[in-house]
Amino acid sequence: GEGAVASADSAIRLNPRLERAHWARGDALQRLGRLREAVESYDRALRLKPDYVAALANRGNALAELHEPEAALKSFDQALAHNAQSPQLHNSRARVLNDLARSPEAIESADRAIALSPGYANAWLARGIALFNLNRYSEALESFQTCVRAEPGSYDGMSNLGAALTSLARYPEALETLEAAVAMAPALPLARYARAQAKLVLGDFAGGWADYDARWGNRAFMAKSAGQVSDATREQLALNLNPSDLAGRKVLLPPEQGVGDSIMFASMIPDVVATAAATTVVCDARLVGLYEASFPNASIVGPEASAGMRLGDFEKVVAIGSLGHAFRTRLTDFPGTPYLTPRPGAVEVWAARLGPKCGRARIGISWRGGTAWTGATSRSLTLGQLAPLFGLEGCEFVSLQYGDPRDEVQAANRELGCGIRIFDPEEIDEFEQLAGLIQNLDWVFTVQTAVVHLSGALGRRCVAMVPERPEWRYMAAGSAMPWYRSVQIVRQGRGEDWAPVVERAVEGVKAECARAPAHGS
């Protein structure tokens, strides 16, 4: 405690060049949670002794806790250069590589730690997290099970084991495991956040939202999803709200997570507007125009303008993902009705750009989704895999794919003869323009991506092909999701490849198109 800091200070006064005293001061400060000061003390020790492994290791741990993984990694690498036989250092390196989403390297470091110490529970934990982040859930499960066998009281091991079971759709086992983890440490966030996702995917909204605010203490969530929320804003967040907590208040809704999540949670902005005295919504710059058109009674602010706002001007600051606790605790709370609408001009511009419809249906397509963090490989297709869709008679196709897929589309048009229309990426990067385009389509045919949420929020018919282990937003089973009535889910079966999923999805569109009258050109 403070006594240890004082003792180190006394030693330093007697001998300022005593590197161990600076290390001891840093160690004491780190245990007190004064991490930045601890790093400064370790730096002083390292100026005196650059190869001081204990100082390098502790410095790396402090920097990791400060959410500076690149600097932490450098510190661990320097320590390993002087002590390559330390399983603890290899494990620490694996941990920060996980924070950096460098999962294959994290596995290598964890494996080195395990080779040096086969029963090292934390190394099995780090290995499991890396595998989990690569969507290799069965292998992750085995690593977490080994971790828990090596250390039966491991809270992190049990929490991650429960999350892996959820991702493998072993829901009863997942909930049992997560209940046990929560019982170990009810105040800690990891198991509660994992339990939130297990409950939400099963439709237990009241129970799920009760745990969902634990995400703000979850290391992986913070690394992946919360970059939009500053530390100052996070400290002001109101949690576990009821509608009465917002009544008559000036409310700020900062963003979080991805654009698709923002659109989904935006379905609750009208609830806030109807309850609060004034509502200010901060959102991704690409959403500002669409939100201004859709929520005229709210103040819509992009990230640059929000930098000048004062939190003290608001009575409640609520992360938009926390609104479910107040407004969506029962299935009947989900209206499922459209809530986004672009301005008429955006729709008219795209009607003119597209011209008269030439067949029975005009279908928008998106075939890739996600990032390395969010399962891109498990939920993305190639245009070649959509060949059955392009075989539909009397249909025309429009690319809604984000990024720049022009080379892919040109190759598919050349090789498959599918005639996909594509526009410059910058023309549809802004979501009001993308919404205007979608409003001119009969169907959207897509994988699990933000286009699902936008189509559903606009009330446009959408077929969404979701992987065997979908995110909680898509629920565990069924062909519907509560957020949108216009979205039809086609699920990948256990161990199934994408070909039969595409076939089933196309059959539904084909049946609808057969009932639609053909249009002349």
Segment 382-418, tens digit of pLDDT: 999 999 999 998 899 999 999 899 999 999 999 988 8
Q: In the chain, pLDDT over 90 holds for what percent of residues? A: 83
C-alpha R_g of the chain: 26
The region of weakest confidence among 5-19, 39-53, 61-75, 357-371 is 357-371
Residue pointed to by tokens 């539909």: 392
Residues 6+ positions from 409 with CB-CB distance below 8 Å = 383, 399, 420, 422
Which pLDDT belongs to residue 228? 78
Answer yes or no: is pLDDT of 106 > 70.
yes
Distance of CA 341 to the CA centre of its chain: 25
CA angle 443, 372, 59 (to 5 degrees): 150
Residue pointed to by tokens 């040109």: 410
Q: Which long-range contacts (CB under 8 A, 24 or more apart) does 136-145 make?
A: 137/164, 137/167, 137/168, 137/469, 138/168, 140/164, 141/165, 141/168
pLDDT band of residue 280 (cuts 50, 70, 90) is very high
The region of weakest confidence among 7-21, 200-214, 309-323, 358-372 is 358-372
Segment 115-127, tens digit of pLDDT: 999 999 999 999 9
Segment 455-467, tens digit of pLDDT: 999 999 999 999 9
Question: What backbone torsions phi and psi does residue 113 show, to the nearest 5 degrees?
Answer: -60, -40
CA distance 92 to 169: 30
Which pLDDT belongs to residue 226? 59
Segment 477-500, tens digit of pLDDT: 999 999 999 999 999 998 899 999
pLDDT band of residue 281 (cuts 50, 70, 90) is very high
C-beta atoms surrounding 451 within 10 Å: 26
pTM of the predicted model, to two decimals? 0.89
Segment 371-382, tens digit of pLDDT: 544 454 567 899
Residues 6+ positions from 29 with CB-CB distance below 8 Å = 5, 35, 37, 38, 41
Which pLDDT belongs to residue 274? 97
CA distance 453 to 229: 22
CA distance 374 to 50: 39
Q: What's the chain's average pLDDT?
A: 93
Q: What DSSP designation does 217 have?
A: G
Distance of CA 22 to the CA centre of its chain: 40
Contact 169, 469 (CB under 8 A): yes
